[in-house]
Amino acid sequence: MSTSSSSQAPGGLRNAVKRKSTADKKQQSQNATPLSTRSAGAGGSSSTMMKLFTDEAQGLRVDPLVVLFLAVGFIFSVIILHVFAKITGKFT
Amino acid sequence: MAGFRLLDLVKFFLPILPEIEYPFEKISFDERIVYTVSCAVIFLFGQLPIYGLKKNAQFYIEDPFYNFRSIFSMQQGTLLEFGLLPVLTSGFIWQIAVGLRLINVNLGNRLDRELFQTGQKLTSFILAIIYTVIFIYVGYFDNVIKGYNPIEIGGNIPWGSYFLIGLQLCSWSWIITLLVEIFDKGYGFGSGSLCFLILESATNFIADLVGVEIYPLVNSNKFETYGASLNLIKNFKIFSPKETAFQIYHAFTRIQFPNLTQFYISLFSILVVIGLQNFRIEVPIRSTKMRGMNNIYPIKLLYCGALPLLFAYTIIANLKIFNYLFNFALSPYFPTLTFKLYGSRKVLNSTIISFAFSIIEAFAVIILSSWFANKWSFISGSSPRDISKQFKDQGISISGKRDVSITKEFNRIIPVASVSGAFIIAVVAVIGEFFGGLGKGVSVIVGVASAFGILEEFMIEYQQAGGSQFTNALSGFQ
Amino acid sequence: MADGIEKLTEVPVEFFKDGSAFVKKCSKPDQKEYFKIIKAVGIGFIMMGIVGYAVKLIHIPIRYLIV
């Protein structure tokens, strides 16, 4: 970053230096804690995109296929429940 | 903040929360298509009716949430009763809270980032439970539970049915959250929640117009087709103009099923959003490494896409759900105080109070989305600072500007763009709502505007992958 | 207090000024481009809707059979 500014800032050199240093400090503190996972370099929500889970966290590791099969299994269990209720309902 | 942070609470749940594995290597383009499609199909299968309810339960439930169902793909009486609301709510809460530094998280730290992510998932799971409890406590399903008559005094409370219904709703909500995670982890395209929203709004758009299902009308023995135009065509009688005129009027005003007014509002909203999507400021850029490499960097008017609108409606939907609870919980104590804020379909916009509330709601939507757009343009991963950093890394600079002032230049443009974009889109949405869009207009706005973002990602991936076997196979047929 | 009110009105006024200036400055799509995009997006949206609705259609017999 170039530190010399070509034009004289209003308020004299000393003020300009001071202002610059506080601005730098502010920027540093902002850089220290990123405001989103994407600016921390880990992917995440962009301006038009809402992303929640982009990091790998600890936890119960599962393969995505397992989740898909789980979902299908769940659907089938609900269907079976329905069918079962219908059949028993017919007989009683 | 003396040593205690909200994130530390999440730690206790770390070992028991499921976590999708990160792909070992980059997923190929074709695999991503397969994952996207299968997730989408599974999502759509959530329209199964809940076990334990009567037939065609969706028409007999007193529905306080009719005007934002289509936005969050909440489908009445099905497993998708809450749709994407838990995921979206938790995502917005956490990301806003961190972005505005309301909670103490250092996202530069890997462990914090992981906890932050698990926190979003945990919140989504817990919200699903909370909504379920609220719905069951208030007696939302009471009318339609099989073998239970709520009016009958002394009838025993159907705890078993309550438990089964709650279990189904919660589990499906959790599965949806995991499906969203599959998308977000890079197995699918774009963001999971937005992909599902697009799919849902497109499906609804078609179903509302030409849906062929035939359902019974409530409180009568007549039947009507679900699709608005199909119903009109079916009932068209050329030889009796009076009857035809009535049918046309009916097609625009029927309330139990989608009507043509909603269709035209949706169509109008789509046209406006597509137009707005291409409003942009072109910032001339040049390469600092190579001379004569000039290009433009477009900054869109809809810088935040449809997220501001989605955020506004997420807030309003949550307020309405909690209002629904308080209305019920407080009504024995303050019978005069708790007037019905949100009436059922029958008293739709018929009273002054509901009119006043729809005006307040309209203003709330506009203000919330403008506020969100302003904040989001700084806290999302594509803030002016992030872009200028990206420029610096790639050796790009704005023509006629020094390196230092890139951030300043973007700071001048981006917030104005995102706020005005969000404002205009919110006004369009609110106008649609005002004419009786019942959330359909909002839903297609969110769908179309998000589709552009996902399409962009898709095209970039496609070009990087250099085509795919799918498209090669398809082009072979032609 | 008066200062506060002034500020309160200042923000929206400023916002409208900036916003309308921005929208005026924007490069807008011309008619040809607009129709091209509408065609592309429309086809995509309708295709997606039809696929989604096809899955929904499968539900009708299932619903009929099981409930």
DSSP string for B337-387: T---SS--GGGTTTSHHHHHHHHHHHHHHHHHHHHHHHHHHHHSTT-HHHH
B201 by Cβ neighbours in 10 Å (0-12 / 13-18 / 19+) ranks as buried
Chain C contact for B202 (CB, 8 A cutoff)? yes
B19: part of which helix (H) or strand (E)?
strand B18-20
In this complex, do C33 and B278 lie within 8 Å of one another by their Cβ atoms?
yes
Q: How far apart are CA B388 and CA B108, in angstroms?
A: 19
Chain B contact for A83 (CB, 8 A cutoff)? no
Q: How far apart are CA A50 and CA B380, in angstroms?
A: 9
Q: How far apart are CA B30 and CA B98, in angstroms?
A: 35
In this complex, do C19 and B455 lie within 8 Å of one another by their Cβ atoms?
no
Q: How far apart are CA B413 and CA A22, in angstroms?
A: 24
Closest B-chain CA to C51 = B203
DSSP symbols for B162-203: HHHHHHHHHHHHHHHHHHHHHIIIIISSS-HHHHHHHHHHHH
Instruction: Count interface pairs A-C at CB distance under 8 A.
Output: 8
CA dihedral sign of residues B195, B196, B197, B202: positive
Query: Nearest C-alpha of chain B: how many angstroms from A6?
Result: 11
DSSP state of B142: G
Q: Which amino acid is at A40?
A: A
Cα distances (Å, whole numbers) of residue A68 to A91, B16, B194, B231, B384: 35, 19, 19, 37, 38
By Cβ distance, the residue of A43, A49, A68 closest to B190 is A49
For the entire predicted model, the pTM comes to 0.86
Nearest to residue B95, comparing CAs of B109, B66, B116, B122? Answer: B116
Q: Are strands B214-216 and B280-287 parallel, antiparallel or unpaired?
A: unpaired
Q: How far apart are CA B145 and CA B164, in angstroms?
A: 11
pLDDT at B344: 46
Chain A contact for B147 (CB, 8 A cutoff)? no
Between B322 and A31, the higher pLDDT residue: B322
Chain A contact for B79 (CB, 8 A cutoff)? yes
Q: Take residue B265 and report the two structure tokens written for it.
A: 């509002």
pLDDT at B372: 92
- φ/ψ of residue B286, rounded to 5: -140, 155
Nearest to residue B71, comparing CAs of B369, B419, B377? Answer: B369
B70 by Cβ neighbours in 10 Å (0-12 / 13-18 / 19+) ranks as buried
Q: Which amino acid is at B446?
A: V
For B375, left (φ over 0), alpha (ψ -120 to 50), or beta? alpha
Chain C CB contacts of A82 under 8 Å are: 66-67
Chain A, residues 61-90, CB within 8 A of chain C, namely 79, 82-83, 86
B227 by Cβ neighbours in 10 Å (0-12 / 13-18 / 19+) ranks as buried
Question: Residue B281 forms beta bridges with which residues?
Answer: B299
Query: Nearest C-alpha of chain B: how many angstroms from C35?
Result: 9
Q: Take residue B219 and report the two structure tokens written for it.
A: 């409180």
By Cβ distance, the residue of A40, A45, A57 closest to B19 is A57
Question: Residue A60 forms beta bridges with which residues?
Answer: B18
B20: part of which helix (H) or strand (E)?
strand B18-20
CA dihedral sign of residues B292, B408, B113, B453: negative
Chain A CB contacts of C62 under 8 Å are: 79
In this complex, do C29 and B275 lie within 8 Å of one another by their Cβ atoms?
yes
B451, B276 contact by CB (below 8 A): no
By Cβ distance, the residue of B40, B417, B455 closest to C22 is B417
Q: Strand B294-300's sheet: what is its strand order?
A: B294-300, B280-287, B396-398
pLDDT at B221: 78
Cα distances (Å, whole numbers) of residue B75 to A70, B44, B70, B172, B409: 21, 11, 8, 13, 45
Q: Taking the CA of residue B228 as centre, how many other CA atoms within 13 Å lie in the half-sphere pointing to its CB? A: 22
Chain B contact for C65 (CB, 8 A cutoff)? no
Chain B contact for A90 (CB, 8 A cutoff)? no
B134 Cβ neighbours under 8 A, 6+ residues apart: B321, B322, B324, B325
Residue by residue, pLDDT tens for chain B (478 residues) are 444 677 778 888 888 888 888 887 778 888 888 999 999 999 998 888 888 888 878 788 878 888 888 889 888 888 998 989 999 999 999 988 888 888 878 877 888 888 888 899 999 999 999 999 999 888 888 878 877 776 666 667 788 888 999 999 999 999 999 999 999 888 888 888 999 999 999 998 998 888 888 888 877 778 888 888 888 888 877 778 888 888 888 888 887 788 888 899 999 999 999 888 888 888 888 877 777 777 888 888 888 888 999 999 999 999 989 888 887 887 766 554 444 444 444 444 456 667 788 888 899 999 999 999 988 888 887 788 888 888 888 877 787 777 677 788 888 888 888 899 999 999 999 998 888 778 888 999 999 988 888 888 888 888 887 666 666 665 554 4
Interface of C with A (CB under 8 A): 62, 65-67
Q: How far apart are CA B161 and CA B145, in angstroms?
A: 7
B298: part of which helix (H) or strand (E)?
strand B294-300
Q: Which amino acid is at C20?
A: S
